[in-house]
Amino acid sequence: MNDLSFLKDFVIIFGAAISINFLFHRLHIAPIVGYLIAGVLLGPSMLGVTQDISLIEVLAQVGVILLLFLIGIEFSLAELIRINRAVFVGGFLQVFLTTGAVLLISLSAGISFEKGIFIGILVAMSSTAIVFKVLSDRGEMDSPQGRLSSGILIFQDLSVVAVVLLLPMLGGKTGVSAFDMAVNIIWALSIVVLIIIVSWFVVPKMLYQIVSTHSRELFLISIVLICFGTAWLTSLVGLSLALGAFLAGLVISESEYGQQAFSEILPLKDIFSILFFVSIGMLLDVGSMIRNPLIVLLAVVLILVIKFTAGALVTMVLGYPLRIGVLVGVALSQIGEFSFVLSKEGMNFGLFSGSDYQVFLASSIITMIFTPFMIQGSGRFSEFFERLPISSKIKTGRFHEDFFEPKELTNHVIVVGFGLNGRNVTKVLSASGIPFVILEINPETVRIEKKRGIPISYGDASKEVLLTHLGIKTARAVVIAISDASATRRIVELSRILNPNVYIIARTPYTSEVKPLFSLGANDVIPEEFETSIEIISRVLHNFFIPANEIEKHINEVRKDGYEIFRNVAQKYDVFPELKQHLPDVEIETIRIEAISPLAGKSLADIGFRRKYGVTVLAIQRGARTITNPSGDTQLLAQDIVILIGTRECIAGVKAVVLSAVS
């Protein structure tokens, strides 16, 4: 009977998880905070309701592996290669600056050099599981702060092997040379590279054979084997299980089976990740925290300040503006879960006492609990920093002058963000002959795309000087396609102030942002739950009076071919910026007459636009010629573009006739 006592622990943990998740969902608080608090309450230092904490810790490790595996699938290897500068340069600088700052404080407090280095390394590590989880839930993994935070966290995981090998030297044990440590590090990294290369070529072929059996169970088992097998192999060379799982996810993401693997593993991840966060809370000795409140409070403040400063400085050194630096600094300001493992190892080498461990554990868990709240409020925090009397070069980023080029455009589109949505929009704009300029905050993206001749500039679109330089006052439309809710609000508000007539389309991952964006002046707000790219393309082209049947054809091809249309669109259109966008109770629409249309070859009198459909023909665009105020004898020819005015319902009737023939 005692063998089944762990079931009671699971019932209590998941019962508490349900209550916390429901409550925190109502309070709009990240449930991670609740899971950590639940762990503290259920742990041995408080209620002591759980008996087998070691088993829960093991299952929690499974949760971390599954969490990082799924994040790796979403991330993709191509994205990791693209942000290599953030991984290696940014990651190294963050670890170096944090460790150095903690070392100086430790030495001034009379702590030994070796112990100061050890504490500095512990503080430098951030929580991959928590940061990835919060950013993923907020839809910010693809944002600049998401990519930079991910890159730095990946470097921290990679540096774990060096830290593990460094511990015996810091603990004063003999027989470990710097040469041996360097050899082991190179060996570990070589294993990682080998795993990636082998998996890149072997895994897709293996999965193809498995999928061809049409066995869901066989596919799931294979995915689990790849996930845990890769994590186990990396652990053998001193790297973390989390890093191995992340690499396995990256490998799967490069195959066509990534999304299916994601859907299969997702339910398991949610269950085990709850155990992870609860188990972290269980480690805390509340009594030790009560006995040393001032020390714990001081440790928390120092950790947050040092890590925030290091993260922000590194981001700005990489060329990003102050706002992104603040967001990254906040995201990385907590202690990581792997620091708990290292701190236990440090106790074995005499680098940590029992009381030191509990103070560190208490301050670390507190920073973890704060993290979701801090990330949620980081947008307002960045606005505070931007109001300070700081140099404009720091606020706009180091690469501002290198990349920014004035544009003399009119009736153009300003596209903010060059991610998936931004790329899709600009491809169709280019194919449609509509002038546009892109504003992107990632300096690496700007470097690459400028070499390809893309009209892209570097900068933060929430700055008035940048939007003015890009011709916001003469722009026809602004498309905001970024994954940063706070920045999107500022850009909408500023764009409306600078140009009261500009057409603003904003993308947002949250339905709760729709009303605020409309109130700030957006004409259209596209929640991410919708077919974001399709909706943006449709509305931008419609605003430029591209024929409705042509828009419908593009959308149908996009849905049918999975965005292959963006590679094939070649038709050029004339646009009519001189027409008014807003007339009371009426709409202006354009329709192209195809050769198979029932209207082709008929005169306007025969068709009876006004008599039958209740619309008026304003003009006919025939090649380079425009026929204004056409008479009833005017005959419609194939490829004519007819410009109509009427109510929405009446125009829909004409479109139905034309589109039914085309389809």
Q: Residue 638: helix, strand or coil by DSSP?
A: coil
Q: What is the mean pLDDT of the chain?
A: 78
Could you give the strand order of the β-sheet that contains 616-622, starting from the edge strand earlier in sequence?
A: 587-592, 641-646, 616-622, 625-628
Q: Rounded mean pLDDT of 461-468?
A: 82
Most confident of 52-66, 203-217, 371-385, 516-530: 371-385
**pTM for the complete prediction?**
0.64
pLDDT confidence band for 309 (50 / 70 / 90): very high
Strands of 332-435, DSSP E: 413-416
Strands of 87-204, DSSP E: none
Tell me the CATH architecture of domain 2-386. Up-down Bundle (1.20)
**Distance between CA atoms of residues 225 and 203, nearest Å:** 11
Percent pLDDT > 90 in the chain is 8
Statement: residue 522 has pLDDT above 70: yes
* pLDDT on residue 569: 44
3-state helix, strand, coil in the chain (%, to 5): 65, 10, 25
CATH number of 396-544: 3.40.50.720
Domain range list for the chain: 2-386, 396-544, 587-662
**Distance between CA atoms of residues 399 and 460, nearest Å:** 11
pLDDT confidence band for 102 (50 / 70 / 90): very high
Tell me the CATH architecture of domain 587-662. 2-Layer Sandwich (3.30)
Reported as type and span, the H/E element at residue 439 is: strand 436-440
* Dihedral sign (CA 576, 579, 584, 585): negative
More confident residue, 180 or 597: 597
pLDDT digits (tens, 9 = 90+) for 116-145: 888 999 999 998 878 887 887 776 777 778
**Distance between CA atoms of residues 144 and 440, nearest Å:** 10
* pLDDT on residue 124: 92
> Are 560 and 626 a contacting pair, CB within 8 Å?
no
pLDDT digits (tens, 9 = 90+) for 34-74: 888 888 888 777 777 765 667 666 766 776 777 677 767 76
pLDDT confidence band for 5 (50 / 70 / 90): low
* pLDDT on residue 77: 60
